[in-house]
Copies of this chain bind each other. A is one copy, B any other.
Amino acid sequence: MYRIGELAKACHINNDTLRFYEKNGLLCPSSRTESGYRLYTEGDREILQFILRAKDVGFTLAEIKELLSIEINKADKACADVKILVDIKLNAVEKKLAELSRFHTSLKRLSDACCGSSISAEHCTILEALESDTDDVRHERHHKQGGK
């Protein structure tokens, strides 16, 4: 069992952030002491780490809340509805993955082009590096933007 300060320290965040997440329904401590102190379990920590990772890759807290609330009830007819939500998120993840892969390729190219490589700095900016990547993915670029 962690007290709020312990969990916060373990995950490098602020105590207040934990209270904030609780207030917003993302992570409630599994229990409290008699005097009212929050007590978090290992499982709570797992959830917190999930939240932090999800945030880091661009999901909003609202989206993360949705992800966390996914519960496929095996006997439930609403299972199909849940699958739809999951597939929507799956799609978002796949889009992010594709975009990150391009970033990765470009940055790698940029890194390799720099400093004594035989490739010699032909690509001088991230944009030029992306540019040379363009042909492979141009057909990939007619998607809606401004998500969130």
Contacts and interface: CB of A to CB of B under 8 A. Distances in A.
A36 interface: no
A103 to B, nearest CB: 5
Given A57-B57, A86-B110, A72 B145 contact: no
| Most B-side CB within 10 Å, residue of A79, A110, A130 | A110
Given A57-B58, A67-B126, A126-B68, A49 B141 contact: yes
A96 B98 CA distance: 12
Interface string A104-138: 10011011011100001101111100110000000
Given A56-B99, A96-B56, A146-B11, A46 B86 contact: no
| Most B-side CB within 10 Å, residue of A46, A56, A70, A126 | A126
The secondary-structure label for the interface of chain A is helix
Q: How large is the interface on A (under 10, 10 to 19, 20 to 34, 35 or more residues)?
A: 35 or more
Interface string A62-99: 00000110111110000110110011011001111101
| Most B-side CB within 10 Å, residue of A47, A57, A147 | A57
A67 B90 CA distance: 27
